[in-house]
Amino acid sequence: MSETDLHYRIQGGHTLKGDVTMSGSKNAALPLIAGSVLCSGETVLHNVPNLRDVRTLLSTLDFLGAETSFQNGTVRIRTHALQSKAIPMEFVSKLRGSIVLLGPLLARFGVVEMAYPGGCVLGKRPVGAHIAALKQLGAEDMSTDEMLHLQGQLKPGHIILPEFSVTATENAILAAALIEGETRIDMAAGEPHVQDVQNFIQEMGAEVDGVGSHTVRVRGKKKLSCVEHRVPFDYLEAGAFIIAALVTKGKIRLHDVDNEHLLSFLDTVSMLGGITTYNADEKILFVDGELSILKAQDIKTNIFPGFPTDLQAPFGVALTQATGVSRIFERLFEGRMAYLYELEKMGARIEILNSHEALIIGPTPLRGRTVASNDIRAGVAMVIAGLCAQGETLITDIRYIERGYDKLEEKLTKLGAKIEKQEIKVGETVDV
C-alpha cells in the first residue's frame, strides 16, 4: 500500500466574508483531559475540538485503563479503573502535550513512567522544568535516557519554576490540586488556557489564589470531585482568522470570542492598521479588512499577556502586506522563523538577521507556490499566505495544521475561500 501525504490546494485572491464560530482550544483541552486523572469517576468536557492530538491523549488514557468517548464535541472520561503504568513511545512520540500527564499521574498514584514526548520541532524544548517542579514537591527522579520515571508521595511545598513554561505550570497546578495543604508556585505562566486549568481544579474542589498571575497558591485536597466543564474558545484560531480577513481585505464576524484573551494581539493589530470591533454581550468580534490600511510594525513575542508566540507566524504574513519595514523579534523559540523561507519562495522581501530576528519589507504581492508546513502555527501562516497570493498555492504535509485547527478548510470555504484538501501519493509530482 502506497504512503500518502495530505496537501491543501488554495486558489488565492478571494475575499473572506461572513460568520464563523471559533472552536474550543486544543491547548486548554489537553491539560483538562489530563486533569481527569485526578478524580475517580466521570469527567465530562464540552466544546472539545476534534483534533488528532486530542484523540491521541484519549487513547493514552484508554491504555491506562480509562473509558473514554468523544462525540459531537463532548468528551467523557471514566477513571474508576485507571492505573499508572509505563506509557510507550507509540502514544507520546507525536504529542508533546502528553507531558501534562506527569503531574496528575504522579499525584494520584505515586509513580509515573513515560517515553519522552515528541511533537513539533521548535528548537530545544526540554522536560527539565517539569521535573524540577515535581522534585520540589518531593518526587524522586529516576529517569533514564529512554524513559521519564518519577515516584514518591508528594507533599505541599514551594515551587520556583526555572522558566515561564505553560505545560510545566499546568503540571505543577494539577499535581498540587491533589496534595492536601498549600503549594505556592512562582514564575507561573498566565496564559488563558493555564487560567482555565486553575478554574477547572477549583470546580473539582481545590482552592486557587492568584489565577492568571505569576504567583499562584493552590490549596489541594486528598480527594477531588469529577466535574462537567466547557473548554474555552481557541484564541490562537481567532488570531489566524483575524489576519486572514485583513490580508484578503475581507469582512468577517468571529463568534464565541472573549477579547480578554487577545488584548495584546488586538492592540498590535490596531497599530498595524487593522480595524476590529467587539460586542461583549454577544461575544462577536468583527474584522473589517476592506477599510484596514496596513503599515509596518515591530513585534516582540512574550509570555502572556504579551504578544503570543503562536501568532507570530500568521502576523508575519500580514507584515508582507504592510507598507514599510517591519521587525519581528521572537523571544521564546529559536525554531519559529523557518516559515519565512517559505514566504520568500512566494515573493516576500525578508532579511533574516538571526534565529530570533527578521526584517520584512512590504507591501509585496505574494505568488502561489508549493510551500511546506513546518509546524502547526507556521502551517496556518502558509494557508493565510495562500489565501492572499496570486494564483495557486500548494501546501504540503498539512498533518501539522490539522493537529491545531479544527475543520479549517470547511470554515474557510464557508467564508468564500477556494481551498481543498487532497491526498497525494508520496513521490507523486503535483503541479501548481
- Annotated catalytic residues are 120
Q: At what angle do helices 263-272 and 312-320 cross, to 10 degrees?
A: 10
Q: Which three cell numbers stand for residue 263?
A: 488584548
Residue 45 makes CB contacts below 8 A (sequence gap 6+) with 29, 32, 33, 36, 74, 75, 76, 77, 228, 229, 230, 231
Using alpha carbons only, give the angle 358, 362, 368 rounded to the nearest 5 degrees.
95
Dihedral Cα 82, 87, 91, 96, nearest 10 deg = 100
Q: From CA 115, how far away is CA 92, in angstroms rounded?
A: 7
Strand (E) positions, 152-206?
158-160, 181-186
3-class secondary-structure state, position 273: coil
DSSP string, 293-305: --B--EEEB-STT
Length of the chain: 432
Residue 214 region by backbone torsions, left for phi larger than 0, else alpha for psi between -120 and 50, else beta: alpha
Burial 199-224 (b: 16+ CB within 10 A, else e): bbbbebbbebeeebebebbbbbbeeb
Residue 143 makes CB contacts below 8 A (sequence gap 6+) with 131, 149, 150
Q: From CA 401, how far away is CA 37, in angstroms rounded?
A: 28
Name the burial class of residue 135, with classes exposed (0-12), middle (13-18) and buried (19+) by CB atoms within 10 angstroms of its CB. middle
Q: How far is CA 294 from CA 43, 249, 308, 310, 323, in A?
A: 46, 10, 20, 21, 6
Which element (helix H / strand E) includes 17?
strand 17-21
- Residue 142: HSE in the Cβ half-sphere, 13 Å Cα cutoff: 13
Give bridge partners of residue 70 from the DSSP assignment.
75
Backbone angles phi, psi at 79, to 5 degrees: -115, 20
